[in-house]
């Protein structure tokens, strides 16, 4: 596989799951639909991210209360996985750090699975020096229980024990330590999306922020589509409209290319 990959072959699978003779693990043929999609991408696709290193985060984080309960959110990981798959299809080296999700592993991506915000922070900080661009699509929990119990709490104990403390704001930390990296954040909003997203763009020292509406059918967590706008620190914005997550992933990669090219020239 390494030899084929080094010759530029696009590998689709093998994927993990149930195998012949009752085994489980890596070795299954990829789904026909995924193979067809990969063939179509090779035949029609641009390879304009070759040589670029893109770090993507996806999914929610789970913050343990005790061994059986956690604090989490409604993110399913679809947006981050779509960005990682699109960047990989276009030739980028992609690392995808994901919280707990039930999605198939995208082809050609270095997948790192984490559970908590602190584990995600560590995995992202470890790879920041490597990355040319970071797309923080994960819905990182903003706070966690200050003390996770090491035994299952009795129901009366749960409410009493819940004292919350903030987690590390990963993206804000990346913004502070930014060198050459292009930084893309997300802002899931139910109110005045533009004002909030612009504030995050400035406060976290981002290049782009994808503002998406949540809390309505057909947009946000778990949906196949998003009502979203892409707001840029410099240059034109993409106005608020409906996109499929694949279209939005494509638009984010198009913007990444322009920003990375600008940086190389300067
Ligand atoms: N983010 C992060 N680390 C956190 C929280 C969020 O890196 N601990 C990132 C998310 O991945 C996303 C962006 O920051 O790209 C969202 O910004 P944030 O200000 O956290 O959004 P909200 O949680 O919606 O914040 P607010 O309550 O201010 O609206």
- Out of 73, 116, 181, 219, the active site residue is 73
> What pLDDT does residue 187 have?
95
Same domain, 38 and 55: no
pLDDT score of 16: 82
239 and 216 within one domain: yes
Which residues have CB under 8 Å from 117's CB, separation 6+? 61, 63, 140, 141, 144, 167, 168, 170
* Both tokens assigned to 17: 């799951």
Give the model's pLDDT for residue 33. 86
- What's the predicted TM-score (pTM) here? 0.85
What pLDDT is attached to residue 109? 94
pLDDT confidence of residue 196:
93
Residue 200 Cβ contacting ligand 1 at under 6 Å: yes
Q: How far is the CA of 158 from the centre of ligand 1 (A)?
A: 26
> Using a 6 Å cutoff on CB, does residue 97 contact ligand 1?
no
- Backbone φ and ψ for 137, nearest 5 degrees, come out as -90, -10
Specify whether 102 is located in the same domain as 192.
yes
Residue segments in the chain with a per-residue pLDDT below the cut of 70: 2, 5-8, 264-266
Q: Are residues 235 and 106 in the same domain?
A: yes
Instruction: Determine contact, residues 121/170, Cβ cutoff 8 Å.
Output: yes
Of residues 100, 171, 180, the one with CA closest to residue 136: 171
The domain of 60 spans 50-265
- 33 and 162 in a single domain? The answer is no
Tell me, yes or no, if 205 is annotated catalytic: no
For residues 129 and 3, membership in a common domain is answered with no
- Tell me: do 210 and 191 sit in the same domain: yes
Domain count, the chain: 2
pLDDT of residue 266: 54
- Identify the pLDDT of residue 265: 58
Q: Is the CB of 171 under 6 A from ligand 1?
A: yes
Quick one: pLDDT at residue 264? 67
pLDDT of res. 89: 86
The closest residue, in CA terms, to atom 14 on ligand 1 is: 171
């Amino acid at each position: 596989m390494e030899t084929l990959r080094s010759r530029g072959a696009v590998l689709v699978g093998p994927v993990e799951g149930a195998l012949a003779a009752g085994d489980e693990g890596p070795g299954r043929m990829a789904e026909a639909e995924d193979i067809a999609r990969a063939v179509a991408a090779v035949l029609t696709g641009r390879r304009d991210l070759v040589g670029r290193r893109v770090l993507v985060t996806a999914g929610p984080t789970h913050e343990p209360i005790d061994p059986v309960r956690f604090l989490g959110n409604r993110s399913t990981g679809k947006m981050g996985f779509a960005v990682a798959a699109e960047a990989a299809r276009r030739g980028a080296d992609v690392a995808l750090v994901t919280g707990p999700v039930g999605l198939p592993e995208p082809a050609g991506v270095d997948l790192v699975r984490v559970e908590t915000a602190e584990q995600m922070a560590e995995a992202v900080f470890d790879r920041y020096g490597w990355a040319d661009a970071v797309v923080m699509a994960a819905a990182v929990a903003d706070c966690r229980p200050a003390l996770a119990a090491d035994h299952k709490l009795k129901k009366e104990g749960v409410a009493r024990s819940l004292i919350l403390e903030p987690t590390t704001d990963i993206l804000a930390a990346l913004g502070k330590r930014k060198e050459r990296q292009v930084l893309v954040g997300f802002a899931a909003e139910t109110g005045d999306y533009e004002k909030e997203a612009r504030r995050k763009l400035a406060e976290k020292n981002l290049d782009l922020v994808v503002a998406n509406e949540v809390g309505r059918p057909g947009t946000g967590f778990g949906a196949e589509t998003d009502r979203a706008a892409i707001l840029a620190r410099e240059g034109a914005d993409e106005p608020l409209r409906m996109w499929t997550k694949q279209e939005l992933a494509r638009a984010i990669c198009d913007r990444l290319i322009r920003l990375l090219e600008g940086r190389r020239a300067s």
